């Protein structure tokens, strides 16, 4: 699958690992992939998202605040994590819910993709095929994360009013626009 990746997409994957390392996580999760993609500032999709208020610093803050909470799973039982966080932070300040001190950096120094991130990578290939694209660019990686529907993404860009579906729409429109 990686042989279809563009140089930019490879760069995004490498950056995803660095983001996970920076956040002292033992594995690479889908949200780290999102951060990796947003670091490829020359990509048209990334530029479009930046115009919509979604850039690397914003996304980093969102990931640091969610800090590994599985928002999608909470939503499946009717709990709106973004709302819980909003209420808690209103009383206790920004980042109050973060799991500081609970993190697990990798003991071996090797940071691998977790199951959800692998799913997202596999789905990025599907997303490319669905658009009849023969290569996998950074935008396809984002579509893969949305398709995999895991982790922190549902609340990541809630403040910008962007849902995963909305993100996918924007990415797809940018990637299919005649250049």
Partner 1 sequence: MSETKQLADAAASRDPAVGLRAVRALRDLADRLEALQVRSAREQGWSWQEIAACLGVTRQAVHKKHAATGRFRSKED
Cβ proximity to partner 1: between 17 and 119 the closer is 119
Question: CB of residue 73 vs partner 1: minimum separation in angstroms?
Answer: 4
Q: Torsions phi, psi of 149, nearest 5?
A: 60, 40
Strand 112-113 to 27-28 pairing:
parallel
Are 38 and 169 contacting, i.e. CB atoms less than 8 angstroms apart?
no
**CA neighbor of 46 nearest in space, from 30, 57, 54, 162:** 54
**CA neighbor of 171 nearest in space, from 131, 139, 147, 130:** 139
Question: CB of residue 114 vs partner 1: minimum separation in angstroms?
Answer: 13
Q: For residue 130, give both structure tokens.
A: 């669905």
Question: CB of residue 56 vs partner 1: minimum separation in angstroms?
Answer: 23
Cβ proximity to partner 1: between 42 and 101 the closer is 101
Q: For residue 89, give both structure tokens.
A: 């932070």
**CA neighbor of 144 nearest in space, from 157, 128, 161, 155:** 128
**CA neighbor of 120 nearest in space, from 30, 17, 2:** 30
**Binding interface with partner 1 (CB under 8 A):** 68-77, 79, 81, 84, 88, 92, 96-99, 101-102, 146-149, 154, 163-165
Cβ proximity to partner 1: between 77 and 177 the closer is 77
Question: CB of residue 124 vs partner 1: minimum separation in angstroms?
Answer: 14
Cβ proximity to partner 1: between 39 and 164 the closer is 164
Cβ proximity to partner 1: between 97 and 125 the closer is 97
**CA neighbor of 31 nearest in space, from 65, 74, 78:** 65
Cβ proximity to partner 1: between 47 and 115 the closer is 115
Question: CB of residue 145 vs partner 1: minimum separation in angstroms?
Answer: 10
Question: CB of residue 42 vs partner 1: minimum separation in angstroms?
Answer: 28
């Amino acid at each position: 699958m990686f042989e279809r990746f563009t140089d930019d997409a490879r760069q995004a994957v490498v950056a995803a690992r660095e983001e996970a390392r920076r956040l002292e996580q033992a594995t690479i999760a889908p949200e780290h992939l999102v951060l990796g993609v947003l670091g490829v500032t020359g990509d048209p999709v990334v530029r479009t998202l930046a115009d919509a208020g979604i850039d690397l610093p914003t996304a980093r803050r969102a990931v640091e605040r969610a800090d590994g909470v599985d928002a999608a799973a909470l939503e499946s039982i009717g709990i709106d994590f973004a709302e819980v966080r909003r209420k808690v932070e209103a009383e206790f300040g920004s980042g109050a819910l973060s799991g500081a001190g609970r993190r697990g950096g990798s003991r071996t120094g090797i940071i691998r993709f977790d199951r959800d991130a692998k799913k997202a990578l596999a789905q990025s290939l599907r997303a490319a095929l669905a658009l009849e694209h023969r290569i996998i660019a950074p935008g396809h990686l984002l579509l893969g994360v949305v398709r995999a529907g895991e982790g922190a993404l549902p609340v990541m860009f809630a403040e910008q009013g962007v849902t995963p579906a909305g993100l996918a729409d924007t990415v797809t429109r940018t990637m299919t626009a005649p250049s």
